[in-house]
C-alpha cells in the first residue's frame, strides 16, 4: 500500500464555535448546519481553526 494524502473535511473555530464542512462539488468550505441551523459563530471573530499539528494528512505507508 502506498501513502495517501487526506484533507480535513470539517473544521471548528476554537474561539467562537463556527463550524464548516468541505464541499467537494463547490471545492470550498461551507457553513455547517446542525438541526437545520447554520453554525455561524461570531461574524467578528478572526477564526482559529482546530486543524493543527495533531491532524495527520498521511495515511497508509510506502512499500
Give the span between the Cα atoms of 7 and 28, in whole angstroms. 12
Range of the domain at 19: 9-35
Query: Model confidence at 61, in pLDDT bands (50, 70, 90)?
Result: low
Q: Is residue 24 part of a domain?
A: yes
Q: What's the domain count of the chain?
A: 1
Cell digits for 51? Answer: 486543524
pLDDT tens sequence across 27-43: 999 999 989 999 999 98
Q: Is residue 15 part of a domain?
A: yes
Other C-beta atoms within 10 Å of 35: how many? 5
Q: Is the pTM of this model over 0.85?
A: no
CA distances from 39 to 1, 3, 23, 24, 57 (A): 38, 34, 15, 19, 25
Amino acid at each position: 500500500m502506498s501513502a495517501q494524502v487526506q484533507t480535513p473535511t470539517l473544521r471548528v473555530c476554537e474561539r467562537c464555535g463556527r463550524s464548516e464542512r468541505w464541499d467537494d462539488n463547490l471545492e470550498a468550505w461551507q457553513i455547517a448546519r446542525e438541526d437545520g441551523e447554520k453554525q455561524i459563530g461570531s461574524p467578528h471573530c478572526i477564526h482559529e481553526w482546530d486543524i493543527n499539528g495533531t491532524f495527520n494528512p498521511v495515511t497508509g505507508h510506502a512499500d
